[in-house]
Structure 1
């Protein structure tokens, strides 16, 4: 959830810009943190980070003199891409596929890691398929 400060009072208020999928992931993260479920917390943080990273816009590669460098707060900020709900589901599907692949890769050598990866993929799949 993104936050914004009010101009007059300076208080921070939540802005409801989260998609239904992100809201489900954030609610599940809060529940997992309260339950002290480290595996689920890690899985959900990774999924949310993947969504945030997908919004990143490639920065311009500029090499120049230090004197030409931007100065000031926010001078190097770039607008972020807005993901559609379908884009977010695609990013989450890629994370699920990655976890399933990790489960297959660990199956012979480290069975407990394979099981953890499969469980994480299952958790994300259930959250993806839930309806609000």
Structure 2
């Protein structure tokens, strides 16, 4: 599903479809965030000195392996993104901001189409 979202983003960029671009970028970012490994807080102040025991240097030293998401995980993230937009649209409509509500519903529709096509 991630690959199809990426391809859809490329198409939306070519077509200059702002609604689709916003929805797809947001969904892909949410997937990226879910793959990120949580950062552990430092245990305490580092001891002074030029070198730190166990430290590595060089190309790739700061890279952390990312979590691998299943297709079900990715689908769940995209479903949540669509659901959040629908809830927000209802709230904006209640507040009289029909223009924003309409845009959010359109973004939710973009994501829901991708959920339906990957089933």
Q: Does the alignment reach a TM-score above 0.5? A: yes
CA distance in 2, matches of 1:80, 1:33: 27
Asked which structure has the greater RCO (Cα within 8 Å, sep 6+), the reply is 2
Unaligned runs of at least 5 residues, structure 2: none
Which of 79, 95, 98 is the matching residue for 2:84? 98
Q: Deviations over 1:79-123 (max 9, x none)?
A: 110000111111111111111111011103311000110111111
Aligned residues: 112
Q: Secondary structure at the match of 2:67?
A: coil
Q: Say what the alpha-carbon RMSD is for the aligned residues.
A: 1.9
Runs (5+) with no aligned partner, structure 1: 1-20
1:22 alignment counterpart? 2
Structure number with greater Rg is 2
Counterpart selection for 1:80 from 66, 90, 101: 66
How many angstroms apart in 2 are the aligned matches of 1:40 and 1:89? 17
Aligned pair in 2 of structure 1 residues 72, 113: CA closer, same or farther (>3 Å)? same
Q: 2:28 aligns with which of 28, 48, 56?
A: 48
Higher strand share: 1
Aligned residue for 1:64, secondary structure, equals: coil
CA distance in 2, matches of 1:51, 1:94: 11
- Length-normalised TM-score, structure 2: 0.84
